[in-house]
Structure 1
Amino acid sequence: MSIVVTGATGHLGRLVVERLLEAGVPAAGIAAVVRDKDKAADLASRGVELRIADYGDPGTLAGAFRSGDRVLLISGNEVGRRVPQHTAVVSAARAAGVAQLAYTGVLGGPEADFELAAEHKATEQAILDSGLPYTFLRNGWYTENYTEQLAPVLEHGAVVSSAGEGRIASAGRADYAAAAVAVLTGEGHLGRAYELSGDTAWSMAEYAAEVAKQSGREIAHRNVPAGTHLKILTGAGVPAPFAAILVDVDRAVERGLLARRDGDLSRLIGRPTTPLAETVAAALAHR
């Protein structure tokens, strides 16, 4: 039996593998499912088993899992193609007889009615239909979704959104990785759905103020209508379909759908979630 992390060379996947090792899980007991073994050479050099597979190529998934494995299915990043990709992973996990399939979905689960949530809800249903022992990790927003885009904010002196005064209960990506490790290494998590979000919710105006405070620059929050926001994003080179999804997310923020705070994340990781200010500081330090 191994703890299997799919998408192990992605931002979240790498953090999960690192946290597993830090938690004392032997490298030989961890398997990383990756598309490109060269990108995972550092993991292999530490004794982590590599299993080469691609969500988009179901034939490669047959060897990705073993009977009794505990598997973390990290959602793919190809929006619009994730349902067939995830369903292929679920089918392979079922055929292998894994002991647990944990899935990184979206905050709110079935109640999330914005566009980006649709594929996550379909994946959860596919997992339920499979009969596999599951754990749903319904991840809220990563603070890094914003701090990794600081360059244009600092260049133009503005945080642009169409989220109004809506609030976001985000947490650091490492917090979500720690939660995944908790359910993969612990007991009592089967058949559970965790609503994972930060301890504190903040608005885009508060985010702009925090960046201004720490950078020493004048940063304003520029709230614009959805149509204007869409034009700004596409004008900056964001593909139109994805730009539309981002604007729809801001509508969800404005309606309070990403402000939910159930406390599941801090309880799972046994500490408070990472504050916004700390993630902003880290992003500015690495510029």
Structure 2
Amino acid sequence: MIVVTGASGQLGRLVIAELLKKVPPQEIVAAVRTPEKVSDLAQKGVAVRVADYDRPDTLATAFAGADKVLLISGSEVGKRAPQHRAVIAAAKAGGVGLLAYTSLLHADTSPLGLGVEHRETEAALAASGVPHVILRNGWYTENYAASIPPALAHGVFLGAAGEGRIASAARADYAAAAAAVLTSDGHAGKVYELAGDDSYTLAEFTAAIARLSGKEVAYNNLPEADFKAALLGAGLPEPVAGLLADSDAGAAKGALFDDSGTLSGLIGRPTTPYQEVIKTALAG
């Protein structure tokens, strides 16, 4: 039995879609805070169980009988380390055979603020004794594609990544990697650095938006503080604006680049070109 936490989220849903291609639905558990959000999965035969990172008692029930668990990192920055420790404790108590964790690309050396809680979680995994595999996910191309509508509206794509090269991949690529690990053996103790096959600067990304949309869009590189201020001015909450600005500043230092080809090796195909993600966003 394979349990996927955070199953109602964007990544979780994609992981379950990939698992359904490989194993019967009755061998999959969608672990979520709100079961109503995955009623469609229940209709497909996937078991649905309540799992709230802030309520450890729910985790024990959710993991009952689980052979493998995918811990998709929580979305509440600042609360994730204790939440993840609760999941690890429940997995240990339940005798889970393999716990897979979605971490951050080069988490051990990453300058990104996001890296702190991932390092804490990786340390907790190492100390737990639970057989585990770490999936260090790089940036989702969709993170930048989300800025395409305002870029088209204003003719400018804002960022703070300078000339840093970004080896992102589509969210579905990372989901396919998680499913591959969860449905095969020999991964315990491994750390996978996962990133896209191709890379780009944000200036190149912007040029692709202009080319594919047929509209004039220019890249405007800002200092980190100015980029954060622009994001706040656009209505983003302070924590989100800070996270995005910090991530761009990290990208300028190479934090979002990796050319190992590990991701495409795991999924057995090339990763999705960033231009394809842009085309999908433009079509939407």
- TM-score tier, shorter chain, comes to over 0.9
Moved over 2 A (4+): none
Instruction: Indicate yes or no: 2:271 matched with 1:270.
Output: no
**Cα drift, residue 55 of structure 1:** 1.0
**What corresponds to 2:40 in structure 1?**
42
**Aligned equivalents of 2:143 and 2:250: distance in 1?**
15
Residue aligned with 1:212, SS: helix
Q: How does 1:1-287 map to 2 (within 5 A)?
A: 2-23=1-22, 25-286=23-284
**Cα contact 2:2–2:66 (8 A) shared by 1:** no
**Cα contact 1:135–1:192 (8 A) shared by 2:** yes
State the superposition RMSD in angstroms: 1.0
**Cα contact 1:71–1:100 (8 A) shared by 2:** yes
- What residue ranges of structure 1 are gaps of 5+ in the alignment? none
Residue aligned with 1:274, SS: coil
**Cα contact 1:67–1:99 (8 A) shared by 2:** no
- What residue ranges of structure 2 are gaps of 5+ in the alignment? none
**Identity of counterpart residues, as a percentage?**
53
Which letter maps to 1:6? T
**Aligned equivalents of 2:274 and 2:55: distance in 1?**
38
**Cα contact 1:4–1:72 (8 A) shared by 2:** yes
Taking a change above 3 Å as real, the CA distance of residues 52 and 129 of structure 1, as seen in their structure-2 partners, is same
Residues matched between the structures, number: 284
**Cα drift, residue 109 of structure 1:** 2.2
**Cα drift, residue 69 of structure 1:** 1.7
**Cα drift, residue 66 of structure 1:** 2.5
**Cα drift, residue 241 of structure 1:** 2.7
Residue aligned with 1:109, SS: coil
**Cα contact 1:114–1:252 (8 A) shared by 2:** yes
**Aligned equivalents of 2:170 and 2:109: distance in 1?**
23
**Cα drift, residue 113 of structure 1:** 2.5
